[in-house]
Amino acid sequence: MPLIQATIIEGRTLEQKKMFYEKLTAVAVESLGVKATQVRVVINEVPATNWAVGGISKADMDAEK
C-alpha cells in the first residue's frame, strides 16, 4: 500500500489538490502495479513564512515582487 507524502506551500485551490491526488495516484498505479484504492496521498501544507530558499522566506520573496 503506497503512501505518497508531498510538502507544498499553502495556497493551492481544492481543485488543484484534487488533480494532484488523481495524477499521483495514476502514476503509482501505472508504475507500481497497485490498485488505485491502495494508494494514499498526504499533502502537508506549509505557510509561506515557514518556507525559505537561500535564506529568504517565500513570503518575503512574494512581497518583493
pLDDT tens, 16-65?
Answer: 999 999 999 999 999 999 999 999 999 999 999 999 999 999 999 999 98
Strand partners, 4: 41
Active site residue 2: yes
- What pTM did the predictor assign? 0.85
Residues 6 or more apart whose CB falls under 8 angstroms from that of 58 comprise 9, 48, 49, 51, 52
In this structure, what are the phi and psi dihedrals at residue 55, rounded to the nearest 5 degrees? 85, 5
Q: Which of 1, 2, 26, 64 is catalytic?
A: 2
Q: How many other CB atoms sit within 10 Å of the CB of residue 39? A: 19
